[in-house]
C-alpha cells in the first residue's frame, strides 16, 4: 500500500484525487508543494506522467528523498534551513501565484490528508490487531497520520489512548521552537490537519534518544527504521513500561533508514556505545 516507501504515499494519491474531483487540478496543471520529502514522493508517484510537479524543500533535508523526487520527474526549489517549513510554505505560495494553473495541496491544511488515514491506515490497524488496540503512538508533522488514524481508532475504542510524538524543538508539548536532527516530524506551528482534541499525551523526544532507538531497531530487531520511527518507538517503550500486562500498543514507523544514509543515520549521537 506504500509503493514510495512511506505513509505519505496515501495522502499524495488522496489529495490529488480530491483536487481533481473538485476541479482544483486540471489536465496540464502544475502541483507545487512545500515538503520534507516523503509527501513529495507520494505526490510525484500519483502525478507521474500527468502533471508538472515542483517541490519546495528546506535545504537540510535528506538527499536520498530529493533524488527520488527527481527520479519521478519533480523539480526541486530549495529554501534556507533558517526559514524552516514556514519559509518553504511561503515560497510555494509565491510560486503558485506566478504559474498559471498551479495548485498547492497544502498538506498542513488539506482535510484529504487526515481523511486518507481515517479511511485506510486506521481500519488496517484495527483489522490486523483484531480490534484489540489500547494505545496508539505516532509522530506528528502535518498531523495527518496521527489525526486520521487516532480518530478512527477512538471511534472503535473510546478508551484508546492516543500518544503524539515530537522531537526537541517542536512546540506541540509547549516547549520552545528550535532545530532538531529527527527528520519528518515536528511542528513549528499547529497545523489545521492536526486535531489536538485527539491527543491524550505528548512525548518530546531528544534527538539522542531517537537515534539510539534507530540503532537498537536495526541491531536487535532487524528493522531499518528512520529517526521519526526511532522517536515513536522510544515513546512507545515509555508507555509499555507503565502499562499493565497485556496492553496492546500500535506504533507508526513512517519510513525506512535507507533514505537517510547520506546523513549518517546510524552514526549520529552514537558516542561509541551500543544502543
Domains 8-103 and 112-263 share a fold: yes
Cell of 143: 498531523
Active-site residue numbers? 8, 228
- Domain range annotation of the chain: 8-103, 112-263
Q: Rounded to whole angstroms, how far apart are CA atoms 120 and 102?
A: 28
The list of the chain residues with pLDDT below 50 reads 272-275
How do residues 243-256 score in pLDDT, each as one tens digit? 999 999 999 999 99
What lies within 8 Å, CB to CB, of 158 at 6+ separation is: none
What lies within 8 Å, CB to CB, of 143 at 6+ separation is: 108, 114, 187, 191, 193, 194, 195
- For domain 8-103, give the CATH number: 3.40.50.1100
Q: 112-263 has which fold?
A: Rossmann fold (3.40.50)
Handedness of CA 137, 183, 81, 77 (dihedral sign): negative
pTM value > 0.85: yes
pLDDT given at position 239: 98
pLDDT given at position 152: 99
Amino acid at each position: 500500500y506504500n509503493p514510495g516507501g512511506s505513509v505519505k504515499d496515501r495522502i499524495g494519491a488522496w489529495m490529488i484525487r480530491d483536487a481533481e474531483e473538485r476541479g482544483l487540478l486540471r489536465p496540464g496543471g502544475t502541483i507545487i508543494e512545500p515538503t520534507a520529502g516523503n509527501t513529495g514522493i507520494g505526490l510525484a508517484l500519483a502525478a507521474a506522467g500527468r502533471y508538472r510537479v515542483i517541490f519546495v524543500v528546506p535545504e537540510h533535508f535528506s538527499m536520498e528523498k530529493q533524488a527520488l523526487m527527481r527520479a519521478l520527474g519533480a523539480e526541486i526549489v530549495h529554501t534556507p534551513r533558517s526559514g524552516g517549513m514556514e519559509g518553504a510554505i511561503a515560497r510555494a505560495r509565491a510560486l503558485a501565484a506566478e504559474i498559471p494553473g498551479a495548485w498547492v495541496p497544502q498538506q498542513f491544511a488539506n482535510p484529504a490528508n487526515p481523511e486518507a488515514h481515517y479511511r485506510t491506515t486506521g481500519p488496517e490497524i484495527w483489522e490486523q490487531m483484531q480490534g484489540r488496540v489500547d494505545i496508539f503512538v505516532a509522530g506528528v508533522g502535518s498531523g495527518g497520520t496521527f489525526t486520521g488514524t487516532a480518530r478512527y481508532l477512538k471511534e472503535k475504542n473510546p478508551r484508546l489512548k492516543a500518544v503524539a510524538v515530537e522531537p526537541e524543538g517542536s512546540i506541540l508539548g509547549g516547549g520552545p521552537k528550535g532545530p532538531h536532527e529527527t527528520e519528518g516530524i515536528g511542528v513549528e506551528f499547529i497545523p489545521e490537519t492536526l486535531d489536538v482534541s485527539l491527543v491524550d499525551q505528548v512525548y518530546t523526544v531528544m534527538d539522542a534518544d531517537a537515534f539510539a532507538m534507530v540503532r537498537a531497531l536495526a541491531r536487535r530487531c532487524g528493522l531499518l527504521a528512520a529517526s521519526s520511527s526511532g522517536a515513536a518507538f522510544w515513546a512507545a517503550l515509555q508507555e509499555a513500561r507503565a502499562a499493565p500486562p497485556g496492553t496492546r500498543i500500535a506504533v507508526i514507523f513512517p519510513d525506512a533508514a535507507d533514505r537517510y544514509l547520506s546523513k549518517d543515520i546510524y552514526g549520529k549521537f552514537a558516542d561509541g556505545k551500543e544502543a
